[in-house]
Structure 1
Amino acid sequence: MGTAGVRTVRAGIFTALCVALSSGAHVLLSGSPVPLLPFLLVSAAVFAAAFALAGRERGFARIAALLVPLELAADTVFTTGRHACYGQAGGPVTGPLRSVGVDLLCGGGSVGTPLARMTAHGGQVTAYPSGVHGVPGTALPWLLLAAHVAAGLLAALWLRRGEAAAARLLRAAA
């Protein structure tokens, strides 16, 4: 397998793990699935970033400078897609939005539907919980932002370590 093959495999594994974790956490917090099109858009963006970064060894700061905004953008895309397809209350959007292209965004299914059914609060899906383990609902957005920044930094560290290991392996093989 050539260099492009190794890059593709590494980027694919990284994408699968990161997007699965990100969308799974999003489904757990929101109680509703992620529409398929936003999921695929985020997957393509993460794969492209991981593939581009896998070309040569880069430092943690450069990787983190790309991955933290990418994590925040993924959350924005998931949230926007969820609100467009399922509405604020979690039910399917009907009415005039269907006539102006929501079917393009929402068609094709959802990701995480079984997980969303398990996390629905007493059968009632909410946009986000009002509070988590004693944390007031007003602090939740800040905790979510901190969690996304931490996830981006962790992903950057993971990608950096993987990149360093791959570089050592290629140098040893050469």
Structure 2
Amino acid sequence: MDISGTQLRAVRAALFTAFVVTLSTASHVLLSRAPLPVTTVAAVAAGVFCTAYALAGRERGFGRIAALLIPLELAADTVFTTGQHACYGRAGGPVTGPLRAVGFDVLCHGAVGTPLAQMAGGSRASAVLAHADPAAAWLLLAAHVCVGLLAAAWLRRGERALTQLLRAVAATTFRP
């Protein structure tokens, strides 16, 4: 079954983007206990959508989905951390001085995940990981890889279900 049509390709890329960005945003906010700047989330979403649209030409297997999803999740985490540090500073406080004069206040206007960050128990970025053991970085990497593998399995099942649905529709619609 051909699932490479432009409209279906855009829908598949949009669903992939929504899933990946929501998963990455929520996990990052919960772990860092600080909201994310809206522009950072929008930039990650645009990058993920463009990548997913370019690669959504055919049905993918678990290995290929995981090979795309895990690096995308790690890259999104890096961009989110950079955005938090640029907007809120390393200690979670407001950034003042020359950065505000250059226009970072425009880039840092608005926040995603503020209620989630408050529910996690803090409003300061990296409050938990500031004095963490060096093994915490490896545990965080392992958590990202495990979540990426679980998400890839879920997305693979969605790919298979979409293909089966389209086959069934095509078989019943165009039956002589």
Length-normalised TM-score, structure 2: 0.81
User: Structure 1 residue 173 and structure 2 residue 169: aligned?
Assistant: yes
In 1, distance between residues paired with 2:146 and 2:48? Answer: 17
In 1, distance between residues paired with 2:129 and 2:16? Answer: 33
User: Structure 1 residue 112 and structure 2 residue 109: aligned?
Assistant: no
Deviation, structure 1 residue 130 = 4.3
| Percent of pairs with identical residues | 63
**Structure 2 counterparts to residues 88-167 of structure 1, below 5 A:** 88-107=90-109, 109-121=110-122, 125-130=124-129, 137-167=133-163
In 2, distance between residues paired with 1:21 and 1:81? Answer: 17
Letter in 2 for 1:86: Y
1:54–1:163 contact (8 Å) kept in structure 2: no
In 2, distance between residues paired with 1:42 and 1:16? Answer: 11
Letter in 2 for 1:30: S
Deviation, structure 1 residue 167 = 1.8
Deviation, structure 1 residue 25 = 1.3
In 2, distance between residues paired with 1:103 and 1:64? Answer: 36
In 2, distance between residues paired with 1:130 and 1:117? Answer: 17
For residue 65 of structure 2, the aligned residue among 63, 66, 73 is 63
Which has the larger displacement, 72-81 or 94-103?
94-103
Deviation, structure 1 residue 100 = 2.7
1:32–1:120 contact (8 Å) kept in structure 2: no
In 2, distance between residues paired with 1:30 and 1:18? Answer: 18
For residue 42 of structure 2, the aligned residue among 36, 40, 43 is 40
Deviation, structure 1 residue 137 = 2.9
CA RMSD of aligned residues (A): 2.3
- Aligned residues, how many? 166
Q: Could you say what secondary structure the match of 2:148 adopts?
A: helix
Regions of 4+ moved over 3 Å: none
Letter in 2 for 1:75: D
In 1, distance between residues paired with 2:8 and 2:127? Answer: 40
Higher Cα Rg, which structure: 2
1:29–1:128 contact (8 Å) kept in structure 2: no
1:39–1:78 contact (8 Å) kept in structure 2: yes
CA offsets 1:7-54 (integer angstroms, 9 cap, x no match): 333332332232122111111111110001110011112222333333
Deviation, structure 1 residue 102 = 1.9
Deviation, structure 1 residue 92 = 1.5
Q: Could you say what secondary structure the match of 2:92 adopts?
A: coil
